[in-house]
Amino acid sequence: MNARQVGYYVALALIWGVSFTLIVRVVAVFGWVGAVSLRAFAACVILGVLAFATRRKLDFGGAWRPLAIVGSTTVAGQLLGLSYAAPRIGTAMAAIIVGTIPLFSMVIGQAWGIEKFTGHGRIGLVLGIGGIVLLVGFPSVPFTSEFAMGCAASLFGSLSAAIGSNVARHSLQTVGSWEQTIGAFLFGGIVAFPMLLMVPVPVTPTLSEVGELFLLAGLCSCLTYIMYFRLVAEVGATIAISVEFAVTLVAVAIGSLLLGERLTTAQLIGGATISAGCALVLNIVPVRWGRR
């Protein structure tokens, strides 16, 4: 990767890693549904205004169907799962589960014929599943139904993100990063919005709290997704999606060191196991079998 691409990679890790803390704050005010639907629409407004102000020509190429799928999964599914889970299981735990996205993505890519498993990729898959068992089975808090639902929601969000990334890789290669981001968040907001009837915004937000929502939308949605889709186009989905490992490290460090969230030794081992499994699945660290 060149210097600009490395800069994108580092920026994504830092911004998405820090965003877990901001997500918990926004969810407390807007609810876990409102935090997603309103954030998605805010991201569309921000990008639309910027495109108009800079006279940027947007060409969606008639790719509304794949954009709807990506919006329903990568935006609505992933962010709803994360927003529901983070306040219930903690940002550190949620961040570690987010690290399973590359694992799910490779499995789906294999099933769809987009990716191909190697021998050590299969071992990585087993390691990843074992890591998830360690995470969920040995929590630092009592294993309640709420904790279980939070873990399930986080895993659902990771699976949704993996589905969306494969659809984008397969069907949106000719669509620009701005168009992908706007389309995905538009459809993601549309999918999540009706759920506000069941999970309404719990309080009337203040002006500063609305500002936090727009900060989350502008920084953690608009900017980062444009950089991410551009990385996918330039260096490939495998390298781009591996940024989730770095995101996990940043978020876990913040949750443990600054927010006082506790993780058991088994969970830390589980997180490391998931990372090792994903690295093998994605072939980030080449492994040679047998003698040279």
Mean pLDDT of 250-272: 71
Give the per-residue pLDDT at 133: 64
**Positive or negative CA dihedral for 216, 73, 168, 285?**
positive
CA dist 113 and 100 (Å) reads 20
Give the per-residue pLDDT at 246: 76
Under a CB-based contact definition with an 8 Å cutoff, are residues 242 and 284 in contact? yes
- Which has the higher per-residue pLDDT, 258 or 30? 30
Residue whose C-alpha is closest to residue 226's, from 162, 182, 171? 182
Rounded percentage of the chain residues whose pLDDT exceeds 90? 32
- For 54-77, the pLDDT digits (tens) are 989 888 888 899 999 999 999 999
Give the per-residue pLDDT at 60: 85
Give the least confident one: 88-92, 127-131, 222-226: 127-131
Quickly list H helices, 54-118. 64-70, 78-89, 91-98, 101-111
Under a CB-based contact definition with an 8 Å cutoff, are residues 98 and 31 in contact? no
- For 178-227, the pLDDT digits (tens) are 899 999 999 999 999 999 999 999 989 999 999 999 999 998 889 898 88
The answer to pTM > 0.85 is: no
Cα–Cα separations (whole angstroms), residue 262 to 77, 211, 265, 275, 278: 27, 30, 10, 19, 24
Residue 55 DSSP label = T
Mean pLDDT of 104-121: 71
- For 214-249, the pLDDT digits (tens) are 999 998 889 898 888 788 777 766 667 777 777 877
Confidence tier at 128 by pLDDT (50, 70, 90): low
Confidence tier at 290 by pLDDT (50, 70, 90): very low
Mean pLDDT of 135-157: 78
Mean pLDDT of 262-280: 70
Instruction: Label residue 260 left, alpha or beta by phi (over 0 means left) and psi (-120 to 50 means alpha).
Output: left
Give the per-residue pLDDT at 145: 85
Give the per-residue pLDDT at 292: 42
Q: What is the mean pLDDT of the chain?
A: 82
Confidence tier at 30 by pLDDT (50, 70, 90): very high
> Which amino acid, one-letter code, is at 177?
S
Confidence tier at 115 by pLDDT (50, 70, 90): low
**Does position 98 have pLDDT exceeding 60, yes or no?**
yes
Confidence tier at 289 by pLDDT (50, 70, 90): very low
In the chain, count H helices and then E strands.
13, 0
Under a CB-based contact definition with an 8 Å cutoff, are residues 98 and 132 in contact? no
Which residue reads 């939070």 in tokens?
Answer: 150
Give the per-residue pLDDT at 255: 73
**Positive or negative CA dihedral for 239, 220, 68, 81?**
positive
CA dist 243 and 240 (Å) reads 6
Give the per-residue pLDDT at 185: 94
Show the CA angle centred on residue 37, arms to residues 74 and 44, nearest 5°.
75
Under a CB-based contact definition with an 8 Å cutoff, are residues 88 and 201 in contact? no
